[in-house]
Amino acid sequence: MFKFFKDKIKQAIANVTKKVEKEAVEETEEKKEELREEEIKEEIKEKEKPKKEKKKLVKKVEKEAVAEIEETKEEFKEEPKEEEKKSLFKRLTEKITLTKISGEKFNEIFHDMEIALLENNVAEEVVERIKSGLEKDIINNPIKRNKVSDTIIASFRNTLEAILSIEKINVEDLVKNKKDKPFVFLFLGYNGVGKSLTIGKVARFLKDKNFKVILAAGDTFRAAGSSQLVEYANKVNVPVIKGKTGSDSCSIIFDTITSAKAKNYDVVLADTAGRIHNNPDLINELKKIVRVNKPDYNILVIDAMTGSDVVQQAEEFNKHVNIDALIITKIDTYEKAGTLLSAAYLLKKPILFLGVGQESGDLKEYDKDEIIKSFGL
Ligand SMILES: Nc1nc2c(ncn2[C@@H]2O[C@H](COP(=O)(O)OP(=O)(O)O)[C@@H](O)[C@H]2O)c(=O)[nH]1
Ligand SMILES: [Mg+2]
């Protein structure tokens, strides 16, 4: 899962780390000069001090040095107060082991990361969000020199975690908590995104949780539309109601809900024909399906290959019917993470599942921690 993303990002982090470290080396050379001058001044001062005081100072510096070693990175990040009398040890660590990156340098340094994200079809807005996260953690913030890579990885992971922290829906609870059965899920999306196969997978998922599930073969537009759903229904052993090609999709779904009520089914999963924005008949039909059947959840199914077009695609549907949640399919065949990141950040809808293969069990519940792990972070 997301191997392409993982590899590209790993390389980009390595490049960014190298650039930050190079900056650090250059800075260090300058700082060393400064420090040498200061040390000479310090020595002169020391010589002028009475012996007793000198001894006391040495002890004090030693004690402080031990304490400094214990200090956490956060403490290093704190701007030292001007008036604070700093120990030689602290001055040494600040000047040689810590580095800061300026705003101008950051853009140049971030370039590799930007390219890696764009190669993954991550939308511009998301790239900007990741960039500002890294900027906050890196610019003008001293980083211990041996912690550059860790700091970049931690910052990147935190930003992705924030992006992926969308509302989490527990599908099992959702169905369980509805008072009057059945819970009706309506599946929408372009042709070929994986609506019908996903319905088969969700049917199996819910059946495994002991729910009684029935399918509505609402794709009456194409001849293969309903026969395909019947095939998936048979595979996972759930009933399906279908009509003839060209028959009224709205009434097939209505009949399925009526039958579900009569037979005490828990869930109806309703398929629809793939919609395209330039076909007003199909859009009107979809509006009618929603108006008449009042589904509990309208799920937009999105192909992982969609990339940053995900926003435009969701808007086309959302204009006509309210979208409650998303499912992203074909994660197994398309290893770029752009669609998922762009959808999570820009659509602000819960993602219920990820489709990860052609079998009925190839469905994963949305789990941000698992996704972040698969990113290698
Ligand atoms: N590898 C893979 N193929 C998928 C996935 N979901 C759907 N497909 C395939 O995508 C094609 C279109 O799926 P289908 O359910 O017919 O799409 P629909 O037109 O939206 O109903 C089929 O060949 C499916 O087997 C997935 O998660 N992974
Ligand atoms: Mg279909």
State the closest ligand 1 atom to the C-alpha of 197, by its place in the atom list counted from 1.
15
Q: What is the DSSP-derived secondary structure letter of residue 161? A: H
CATH number of 7-165: 1.20.120.140
Closest CA to 175 of 31, 297, 329: 297
Is the dihedral angle over the CA atoms 244, 246, 247, 251 positive or is it negative?
Answer: positive
* Cα radius of gyration (the chain): 30
CATH number of 171-366: 3.40.50.300
Q: At what angle do helices 124-138 and 103-119 cross, to 10 degrees?
A: 140
Nearest ligand for residue 222 CA? 2
> pLDDT tens digits, the chain, 377 residues: what are they?
999 999 999 999 999 888 888 876 666 667 777 777 887 888 888 777 666 676 777 777 677 766 655 654 454 455 555 445 556 556 555 555 567 777 888 888 899 999 999 999 999 999 999 999 988 888 777 787 778 889 899 999 999 999 999 999 999 999 999 999 999 999 999 999 999 999 999 999 999 999 999 999 999 888 788 899 999 999 999 999 998 877 899 999 999 999 999 999 999 999 999 876 667 888 899 999 999 999 999 999 999 999 889 999 999 899 999 999 999 999 999 999 999 999 999 999 999 999 999 999 999 999 999 999 999 98
**Residue pLDDT, tens place only, 82-92:** 445 556 556 55
Nearest ligand for residue 219 CA? 2
Distance CA 275, CA 285 (A): 10
pTM greater than 0.85: no
Residue 194 CA to ligand 1 center (angstroms) comes to 4
State the closest ligand 1 atom to the C-alpha of 191, by its place in the atom list counted from 1.
19
Give the DSSP per-residue string, 270-307: E--PPP-TT-HHHHHHHHHHHHHH--SEEEEEEEGGGG
The structural domains of the chain, with segments of one domain joined by +, span: 7-165, 171-366
Q: Which residues contact 118 (CB under 8 A, 6 or more apart)?
A: 127
